[in-house]
Amino acid sequence: MVALPFLLYGSVLYIWGRSVARILLFPIAFLLFAVPLNFLTQATVNLQFFETGVASAICNFLGVHLDTIGTTITAADNTFRFEVNEGCSGIRSLMAIAMLSAIYGHLTQDRLWKKLMIFAAAVVFAIIGNAGRLVSIVLVARWFGQDLAGGPYHAISGYLSFPFALAAMLLFAKLLNLGSTTSARPRVVKEPASV
182 within some domain: no
Does residue 73 fall inside a structural domain? yes
pLDDT the model gives residue 44: 65
Rounded to an integer, what distance in angstroms lies between the CA atom of residue 124 and that of residue 171? 12
The fraction of the chain above a pLDDT of 90, given in percent, is: 17
Give phi and psi for 178, each to the nearest 5: -60, -45
Same domain, 44 and 24: no
pLDDT digits (tens, 9 = 90+) for 143-182: 888 888 788 888 888 788 889 899 999 999 999 988 775 4
Torsion angles phi and psi, residue 169, rounded to 5: -65, -45
Q: Say if 193 falls within a structural domain.
A: no
Q: Is the pLDDT of residue 24 over 50?
A: yes
105: nearest Cα among 29, 9, 21:
29
pLDDT of residue 83: 80
Select, from the ranges 42-46, 98-102, 141-145, 189-193, the one with the highest average predicted confidence (pLDDT).
98-102
Q: For residue 92, tell me if it sits in a domain.
A: yes
Residue 158 belongs to some domain of the structure: yes
Q: Which residues contact 148 (CB under 8 A, 6 or more apart)?
A: 140, 141
Task: Give me the chain's average pLDDT, please.
Answer: 81
* pTM for the full predicted model: 0.75
Residue 190 lies in a domain: no
pLDDT level of residue 186 (50, 70, 90 thresholds): very low
For residues 5 and 80, state if they share a domain: no
In this structure, the answer to whether residues 68 and 134 fall within a common structural domain is yes
Q: Containing domain of residue 1, as a range?
A: 1-35
Specify the DSSP element, H or E, that contains 6. helix 3-16
| pLDDT for the residue numbered 86 | 66
Instruction: Provide the strand spans (E) within the chain.
Output: 66-69, 72-75, 81-83
- Which residues have C-beta within 8 Å of that of residue 153, sequence separation ≥ 6? 137, 140, 144
Q: Are 15 and 94 in contact (CB under 8 A)?
A: no
Per-residue pLDDT at 121: 93
Give the whole-angstrom CA distance, residue 165 versus residue 145: 26
The rounded distance, in Å, linking the Cα atoms of 112 and 116 is 6
* pLDDT of residue 75 exceeding 90: no
CA nearest to 85, candidates 98, 73, 97: 73
Q: Give tens-digit pLDDT for 51-66.
A: 888 888 888 888 888 8
Do 18 and 111 share a domain, yes or no? no
User: Per-residue pLDDT for 20 more than 50?
Assistant: yes
